[in-house]
Amino acid sequence: MENNNFINIDGIDIPIENEKNVLELIRKADIDLPTFCYHSELSVYGACRLCVVEVEGMGVQASCSLPPRPNMKIKTMTEEIRRIRKVNLELLLANHDISCPTCSRSNNCKLQDLSRRLGIEKSRFKKTTKEMPLDNSSYSIIHDPNKCVLCGDCVRVCKEIQSIGAIDFIHRGAECSVGTAFGKGLANVECVNCGQCVSVCPVGALTPKPETEEVWKDIHNKEKIVVAQIAPAVRVAIGEMFGLEAGELTTGQIVASLKKLGFDYVYDTSFGADLTVFEEATEFIQRKLKGERLPQFTSCCPGWVKFAEQYYSELLPNLSSCKSPQQMFGSVAKRILPDLLGVKAENISVVSIMPCTAKKFEAKRPEFYNNQIADVDHVLTTEALARMIGEAGIRFRTLTPQSFDLPLGFKTGAAVIFGTSGGVSEAVLRFAYEKLTGEVLHDCDFKVLRGNKEFREIAVKIGELELKIGIAYGLKNAREFCEKVKSGNTEYDLIEVMACPGGCIAGGGQPVSFDPDFKAKRTKGLYNADKQLQLHKSQENPYIKELYNKVLGEPGSHIAHELLHTDYSGRKRIEESPLNIRNTNHPKIEVSVCVGTNCFIKGSQQILKEIMNYVVENRLQDIVGFEGLDKHDEMVDVQATFCFEKCNRGPVVKVNNIVVEHADFKKVKTVLDKEIKRIVSLLNN
């Protein structure tokens, strides 16, 4: 029987094999249709209208939103289609801030690339939009709305992959743009700094915030000793900026480049990852054996940590108290390098080379300063380092490789695989196996933890101990784990979370890639790096052992907690002014009730209502038992606010400077009555 499950594309029959739209079939026919807004991992949007094709009997259609049907006849390049594409591109160019020579995406911009492909030299249309202000508020990301082409990729990735929605379309018609709630800066909304919006933005409207000038300043400061730490995922991605294949290991060239740029010492963040394994695995074993604070969530990803602070503060005790490898490295470097190098801690500049935009935010957290000295001074993304190398005229591909400096440059394979989803869990199990069984682990690969699925549940047996492990990338999937843990319907022992798809290999600071296989190639590169090293378990790292012998004592010691551990607390999702519920002329007392999500679901709305009724319906002399207080009847203001960052102790109410935790109306009334009496007594005297 003849199989008619084909569509005809430009005269060639292409079989339909579970493709969800015509665009994917066209790409299977080795035709690269232009598109801005199509990403296979996101919902179909169909906004840019560049992937239009002519379908027999249907006319011109957007191929990304058109389901394939057998016997379709499609033309991808007719005179009309070519004209439509060129007009659409010219309209985009008309309202685009064309600053290509200075744009960080100049060498990897879809708008620039498609303009060249379609032969567009200038736009025939006049600019109609007004120049909008740059949002430079975030430590991690710069938003330039003047370059936005309204493709919606950033909006969809924030909602669909991260389940946050920190940015969205605002206004209507010609005034439409991408922005945040209440027009706030990215620093003042629920953005977790993951940078996935940066990764999908085709034109540079969202870019990592640069710190290259600050790094150059330290390099040229003769009083500074500038040291670099390189994250695992950087070594399998930076080569793409110089024409190499994704996943190709370029560790030696990175070290050589940094030395040529003027860095005094080059170390490996993987040293910090080995250290993290010691502390986090020890913490996990203790929790498991005691049955306390399980499951233990990993805490290496700063995007995930901020997400947990904002949405799941009640689960913060379940997070590992370990700092991330970046921050562990910085803390240890500032402690031991002054003696090793004979220089003051304040004259050591630690520069992180990271695949992650959220690491910029993490380095600026107040928890990671000691006596006003930051553990990590500057964070460069992979792309930023590549630009510095280019600025210096260094020929990256022909460099003679160099090795890391010791002792903070030595690592094991367990640390290198931290850069991919499942890698942290595997490194922890390589350590935990030997500690729990007393046996030597010869086959170090826990391949059951590996894979490209974004939500994984795995059962692992170590000796007589059964472990249930969860692995998630993308914060939407992390949310699913959190909800399961909150419900109590399932039991996990360890849950690894990474904000970025596939892990750090696809972080917001990595080179933007349009290769559909780039994540798989980078991941394979990290596992290959593990295999090429002689040691594959963190407990085999001799320099980590020496650090414990000379400085830390043992995992979990007092000094280890001082240097390598931290704690987190609930965080407000948006910086916003209070909503005035009762606004009096001469207030002496302000009652602020948190109506943020956590407090709201615990009853703060009812407390607000009862307080308002109590203040409005009762005269002050009835409240405090004094006569002749009519003139003070409007001395109490009542406000609704969004967060006191005490979500795990909600509902929270503040009466002047007195904070009432786990509040109910009775508690608040008692505090309010006392405060009214105090103020009235002061006024009458």
Active site residues: 280, 283, 300, 320, 359, 362, 367, 504
- Cβ atoms of 354 and 507 within 8 Å: the answer is yes
Task: Tell me if residue 94 falls in helix, strand or coil.
Answer: helix
- Cβ atoms of 378 and 351 within 8 Å: the answer is yes
**Gap between the Cα atoms of 577 and 653, Å rounded:** 16
DSSP annotation string for 453-510: -SEEEEEEEETTEEEEEEEEESHHHHHHHHHHHHHTSS--SEEEEESSTTSGGG-TTS
My answer on whether omega of the bond before 587 falls inside 30° of 0, hence cis, is no
Task: Tell me if residue 680 falls in helix, strand or coil.
Answer: helix
Q: Is 667 exposed, middle or buried (0-12, 13-18, 19+ CB in 10 A)?
A: middle
Question: How many CB atoms within 10 Å of residue 14?
Answer: 21
Q: Which helix (H) or strand (E) holds 214?
A: helix 212-219
CA 534 to chain centroid, in Å, comes to 32
Question: How many CB atoms within 10 Å of residue 48?
Answer: 26
Starting at the edge strand found earlier in the chain, the sheet holding 658-660 runs: 579-582, 636-641, 589-594, 653-655, 658-660
State how far the alpha carbon of 375 is from the alpha carbons of 208, 332, 372, 378, in Å.
21, 8, 10, 10
- Cβ atoms of 90 and 120 within 8 Å: the answer is yes
**Type of residue numbered 606:** Q
- Cβ atoms of 397 and 243 within 8 Å: the answer is yes
**Gap between the Cα atoms of 603 and 665, Å rounded:** 10
**Gap between the Cα atoms of 580 and 515, Å rounded:** 52
Structure tokens at 25: 């079939």
